[in-house]
Amino acid sequence: MISSPSSPSPRNTLRSRRTHRGWSQARLAEMAGITRQSYAAIESGRSMPSTEVALRLARALASTVEELFSLPGDPTPPEKAWDPALPTAGLFRRGPRRVRLARISGRLTAFPLGLGGVHASLAADGVAREVESPGDDAPTLEVQLLAHRRPPPDLVVAGCDPALGLVVEGLRRQWDMEVLWIPAGSRAALEALARGRVHVAGTHLLEPGTGEYNAPWIRRMVPFPTIRVGFATWEQALVVRARNPLGLRGVEDLARAGVRLVNREPGSGSRALLEHCLREAGLPPDGLPGFDDAVVLDHDQVGATVAAGLADAGVAIRAVAAAWGLEALPLAREPFELVFPEHLLDLPAAQALLELLQDPWLHRQVELLGGYDTSGMGRPA
């Protein structure tokens, strides 16, 4: 360790990152191979670490040296980050965006916040703007980092199930792990997984020709070995206004004059199910009034749109109908599954998630939402 009493004390984020993980100074010092006294001097800013110690601390905290240390007066250099490869990624073309940052397989990904992005209420880690990219695999964003930002999340999960919010809470409460949940349709979640932008993807995609869920899509879209783990079987329904004032009985009534449909985005499992049901009823989806006119990005937005009287019907899970006081006309029971890359299974956060899926607390909390069967939760699909 190099002590520099005459030079400006280095700034560091060690304390916030250490306490975020619930670690003592002694534990982090042991992980870095130094004494607790030496570590305390570094954390307090009284000493500068050697290159080797800085690298060890960065490895222990799953960070970079630049994220841990800086000198007073030094401007924070912009970071290069991945475009998240989700529908909200196009927001960066409209100008700089607030972002939450995550490291996945050592690479930084920037997720836009609010106003069409995700998690508007989260504190930002930086502000990102789109830059010219020489190729598909090159970083496409430049991020100006903010001071005093939080450590990156331990896990990034993409999927449309509102119950994933309970996963976020469970991992924080029981393992003190931070999970970034990205609400995304099934195909978008799998695309993000395939491109290394998330750790885990949730999906409920029907293969119309065979009636099989998820496996055919994963084989086509994801270029590396994965495992599928059951989360829940849920009930998909045609969600209609309270007391069903129009007397709708099923998808065939969506063709009636004056019936207003709110639909999900292309690539979502709910939209795929609606298309399948319409074909079964002899109705071409592209000829249905409103099929492409009113589109929202998740189940809850379907419920909110119908409850507000802006639409008469839409496809969403029964739990959303219960939450918004709406009627639910059953359409299908579907398996919502979590897809893990095999090469990321050794991550502590991935192992913690697999353990949480076995926890009766999570099973009970999900079932209380309504319309969920968790008997297969945590089991290989």
Structural domain includes residue 311: yes
Is there a contact between 112 and 92 (Cβ–Cβ < 8 Å)? yes
pLDDT tens sequence across 50-65: 999 999 999 888 788 8
Domain span at residue 103 reads: 75-152
Q: Is the pLDDT of residue 135 over 80?
A: no
> What is the average per-residue pLDDT within 350-357?
97
Q: Is the pLDDT of residue 3 over 60?
A: no
Query: If we measure between CA atoms, which residue out of 165, 147, 130 comes closest to residue 323?
Result: 165
* CA angle in degrees (0–180, nearest 5) for 297-301-307: 155
How many Cα atoms occupy the beta-carbon half-sphere of 227 within 13 Å? 14
Domain boundary residue among 23, 43, 70? 70
Q: 134 Cβ partners below 8 Å, 6+ apart?
A: none
Query: If we measure between CA atoms, which residue out of 108, 173, 155, 153 comes closest to residue 349?
Result: 155
Residue 139 binned pLDDT confidence (cut-offs 50, 70, 90): low
Query: 96 and 19 in one domain?
Result: no
pTM score of the predicted model: 0.81
Query: 274 and 351 in one domain?
Result: yes
H or E segment to which residue 15 belongs? helix 14-20
Between residues 363 and 285, the one the model is more confident about: 363
Query: 184 and 148 in one domain?
Result: no
Residue 328 binned pLDDT confidence (cut-offs 50, 70, 90): very high
What does residue 363 show for φ and ψ, rounded to 5 degrees?
A: -55, -50
Q: In angstroms, how far apart are the furthest CA atoms of the chain?
A: 81
Query: 301 and 216 in one domain?
Result: yes
Q: Please give the Cα distance from 192 to 260 (Å, whole number).
A: 32
Query: 305 and 196 in one domain?
Result: yes
Q: Please give the Cα distance from 329 to 43 (Å, whole number).
A: 59
Query: 137 and 282 in one domain?
Result: no
Q: Is the pLDDT of residue 6 over 70?
A: no
Bridge partner residues of 193 (DSSP) = none
Give pLDDT, residue 354.
98
Query: 310 and 284 in one domain?
Result: yes
Distant-in-sequence contacts of 161-165, Cβ < 8 A, 24+ apart: 161/202, 161/231, 161/232, 161/234, 161/299, 161/317, 161/336, 162/298, 162/299, 162/300, 162/317, 162/319, 162/320, 162/369, 163/231, 163/232, 163/319, 163/365, 163/366, 163/369, 163/372, 164/202
Q: Please give the Cα distance from 235 to 269 (Å, whole number).
A: 13
In the chain, the number of structural domains is: 3
H or E segment to which residue 140 belongs? none
Q: Are strands 107-112 and 126-130 parallel, antiparallel or unpaired?
A: unpaired
Q: Please give the Cα distance from 173 to 303 (Å, whole number).
A: 29
Give pLDDT, residue 121.
82
Domain boundary residue among 152, 182, 212? 152
Give pLDDT, residue 20.
63
Pseudo-torsion of CA 369, 262, 211, 164, nearest 10°?
Answer: -30
Q: Please give the Cα distance from 191 to 193 (Å, whole number).
A: 5
Tell me the CATH number at 33: 1.10.260.40
Alpha carbon of 271 to those of 231, 264, 300, 309, 325: distances in Å?
20, 5, 14, 21, 22
Query: 167 and 223 in one domain?
Result: yes
Give pLDDT, residue 75.
60
How much of the chain exceeds pLDDT 70, in percent?
Answer: 92
| Tokens describing residue 129 | 């703007």
Structural domain includes residue 5: no
Tell me the CATH number at 250: 3.40.190.290
What does residue 61 show for φ and ψ, rounded to 5 degrees?
A: -100, 10
> What is the average per-residue pLDDT within 314-321?
97
Neighbours of 260 (CB within 10 A): 18
Instruction: Tell me if residue 295 falls in helix, strand or coil.
Output: strand
Domain boundary residue among 113, 136, 152? 152
Structural domain includes residue 2: no
Buried b / exposed e over 95-130, threshold 16 CB at 10 Å, is ebbbbbbbbbeeebbbbbbeeebbeeebebbbbbbb
Mean pLDDT of the chain: 90
Give pLDDT, residue 343.
95
Query: If we measure between CA atoms, which residue out of 294, 292, 276 comes closest to residue 284?
Result: 276
pLDDT tens sequence across 158-215: 999 999 999 999 999 999 899 999 999 999 999 999 999 999 999 999 998 899 999 9
Is there a contact between 333 and 235 (Cβ–Cβ < 8 Å)? yes
Query: 283 and 159 in one domain?
Result: yes
Query: 158 and 112 in one domain?
Result: no
Query: 106 and 53 in one domain?
Result: no
Residue 2 binned pLDDT confidence (cut-offs 50, 70, 90): very low
> What is the average per-residue pLDDT within 255-264?
95
